[in-house]
């Protein structure tokens, strides 16, 4: 792949990174996984262009890395929130069972 083709691949990977962040902010993990897989293919194709990375490519790669870190943070936040909600629902079910008037008398 030529340097120009690598730049195009990196620019598309950057676009996908922006989309990935948007779906991560919504908490859509499945869409994030699909976008990440597509982005990985682009990054792999761009990485085979030579031993040195031009400065303008490094800037794109840094922006992709920054967006990736933000997306990971969003997905982790949604994961923790979902786990907390599940814990609260479980506690509510236990309380309902414990204090239900139809509970068997011991």
Domain count, the chain: 1
Domain assignment present for residue 104? The answer is no
Domain assignment present for residue 54? The answer is yes
Please tell me the distance from the alpha carbon of residue 55 to that of residue 45, in angstroms, as a whole number: 18
User: Mapping DSSP to helix (H, G, I), strand (E, B) and coil, where does residue 28 land?
Assistant: coil
Please tell me the distance from the alpha carbon of residue 3 to that of residue 6, in angstroms, as a whole number: 5
Q: Which domain holds residue 33?
A: 3-99
The structure's pTM equals 0.75
The answer to whether 75 and 42 are in contact (CB under 8 A) is: no
Domain assignment present for residue 106? The answer is no
Domain assignment present for residue 105? The answer is no
pLDDT (tens, 9 = 90+) of the chain, 106 residues, equals 666 788 899 999 999 999 999 999 999 999 999 999 999 999 999 887 555 667 778 899 999 999 999 999 999 999 999 999 999 999 999 888 888 876 555 5
């Amino acid at each position: 792949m030529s340097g120009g083709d690598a730049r195009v691949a990196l620019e598309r990977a950057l676009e996908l990174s922006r989309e990935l962040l948007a779906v991560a902010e919504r908490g859509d993990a499945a869409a994030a996984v699909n976008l990440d897989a597509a982005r990985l293919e682009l990054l792999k194709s761009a990485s085979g262009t030579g031993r040195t990375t031009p400065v303008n490519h490094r800037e794109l790669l840094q922006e992709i890395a920054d967006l990736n870190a933000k997306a990971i943070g969003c997905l982790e936040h949604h994961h923790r929130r979902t786990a907390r909600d599940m814990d609260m629902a479980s506690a509510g079910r236990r309380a309902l069972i414990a204090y239900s008037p139809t509970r068997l008398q011991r």
